[in-house]
Amino acid sequence: MKNLISARRQALACAVLAACAFAGQAWASAEHMVVAMPQIPQIIEPQGKNNNALERVSFSIFETLIHADQKTGELSPGLAESWKRISPETVEFKLRRGVKFQDGTDLTADDVVFSFGEERFMGEKAPGRPAAQEFLGGLKSVEKVDDYTVRVTMKTSDPLIERRFAARMSEIISEDGFKKAGSWENWIKKPIGTGPYKIVNFKLGNRLDLERFDGYWGEKAPAAKLSFVEVPELSSRVAGLRSGEFDLITEVPPDQVKPLSKDGRIDVVGGPIDNIYSLVFDNKSNKVMESPLLRQAFLHAIDRDLLANALFGGTTTAANSFQSKTFGELYIPELDKKLYDPKLARELVKKSGYKGEEIVWRIQAGYYTQELTVSQALAAMLKAVGINVKIEVKENWTQVEADGPTREINNASLSAYFPDPASQLWRRMKPGAFWDTKGYFEHTPEYVKFGELGKVLESSTDPAERKAAWKGMLEVFAQNPLACPIYSLPMIYGKQKNVIWEPGTQGSLDLSARNLKFK
């Protein structure tokens, strides 16, 4: 408890220092845009970690071969000016000429090959592999055809290659910059990409300063300087927005929407994104969580509509399955029906043989919007059906995910980085992905079946076959759930009215000229 209090005091001190750093300064937003968020990432290398904080900042610094519109998902040329399918396993990319990295070197096929090569990703012990494996684990090779042509080949046929190389973990980095850094530890503090902003200064736990990259190949960045500031306390973020110290703040809770909207200088924007806030179960480390019936009870104990309306003021929607309507033909409405049924939950608890043992649920109190409040409400709903949950607040993800018999439930969000089920539930839950390799999942017959169907989803080019596999995966997962969907993660922002900007369906912040202007 002393450590937790100390950490909170330290976080508050950081917030005060950050606010003081801006006090008395009246930058025009176009000269210096300041974004305040609860956490800034600990590292900036995009393959270094898969979390919301890194996703927010990386979009300004790095780019992918194909650009995916953050609102519509539409694909368009990025670092590749064109691409074509060579076979069900292979896509060939023609690189855009004249693109420079932020260190002034030219982008060539060698950089693309290196970005996915042995030193960064493909090697068994490559530092980017743990985070990027669940995104790019099916990659077989990236080969140079000529200086401006690369050929990407997957291990099996893959209907989603183009989507993968427009999404997270496919960001292209400078081979020369990586090697000059001398080590992964040096590189992750100031990596080099091709994006519209380049890193100037990175201070862990405080701020990340960027500036416009004048050598950028596309339309120049709207802001001359861009700073991401870590301000854990909501009150400090709101005060900074009201005073004009911050141009954009993240994680605005619903109870602040109306008060901020009444301020004539502020707009509140955002809503649910393609990311499902969930509970993830460890059914391997503690015998209590072994029972599928007990885990099914969690699904039916939670009144998701009440949470969405009472705690989020209707700014988000309930999630009764790991699906999104953006999946199009792969969305299966009959498997997205309301789950809340406390009577059924009580029956499942009784049948499971659960005796009221304490079940530990680890959270970070401020990582997600209203996380502690939501967790307490969920604990009360679970208690009402006979499930005894103990919430333990941790300081970081390392503590949340540390192995041992008290790792029974984690909070997590499952992002759909592109509009297909392979990018969400399968990506996070498949054999060999993060939670499986960390020892969360027992390889039960149901999990094996889930894996077999997932391989079909991931590799088949037949839409009907993919849909049948996805339907089977959802049915198997309902029998032996390894996670519990709760609601679509709401991403609400406050911004100055003179900042013309719209959020997308992802957690990333598009602050490029495509999506940002100043009045």
Which residues touch 245 (CB under 8 Å, ≥6 apart)? 19, 22, 23, 25, 34
CATH class of 2-58+195-265+497-518: alpha beta
Strands 248-249 and 32-37: parallel
Higher pLDDT, 272 or 14: 272
DSSP 482: S
Rounded to the nearest integer, the mean pLDDT of the chain is 92
Q: Which residue in 198, 218, 191 sits closest to 102, CA to CA? A: 198
- Check if CATH label 3.90.550.10 holds for domain 66-176: no
Q: Over 70: is that where the pLDDT of 133 sits?
A: yes
Q: Over 80: is that where the pLDDT of 5 sits?
A: no
Give the pLDDT confidence score for residue 255 in this predicted structure.
87
Give the pLDDT confidence score for residue 254 in this predicted structure.
87
Q: Each residue of 319-339: pLDDT tens digit?
A: 999 999 999 999 999 999 999
Question: Which amino acid is located at 18 in the chain?
Answer: A
Domain locations along the chain: 2-58+195-265+497-518, 66-176, 274-489
Give the pLDDT confidence score for residue 366 in this predicted structure.
77
Residues 491-516, mean pLDDT to the nearest whole number: 94
Q: What kind of fold does domain 274-489 have according to CATH?
A: Dipeptide-binding Protein; domain 3 (3.10.105)
Segment (H or E) for 496: strand 483-496
SS (H, E, C) 234-281: HHHHHHHHHHCCCCEECCCCHHHHHHHHCCCCEEEEEEEEEEEEEEEE
Say if CB 230 and CB 203 are below 8 A apart: no
Residue 29: which pLDDT band, with cuts at 50, 70 and 90? Answer: low
DSSP 347: H
DSSP 73-96: --EEESSEEEEEEEETTEEEEEEP
Q: Over 90: is that where the pLDDT of 203 sits?
A: no
Q: How many residues does the chain have?
A: 519
Q: Over 90: is that where the pLDDT of 12 sits?
A: no
- Return phi, psi of residue 275, to 5°: -155, 125
Strands 499-501 and 66-68: unpaired
Q: Over 90: is that where the pLDDT of 290 sits?
A: yes
Q: Over 50: is that where the pLDDT of 52 sits?
A: yes
Tokens encoding 464: 């009907």
Residues 432-443, mean pLDDT to the nearest whole number: 94
Give the pLDDT confidence score for residue 219 in this predicted structure.
97
Q: Each residue of 351-379: pLDDT tens digit?
A: 999 999 999 999 988 788 889 999 999 99
pTM for this predicted structure? 0.86
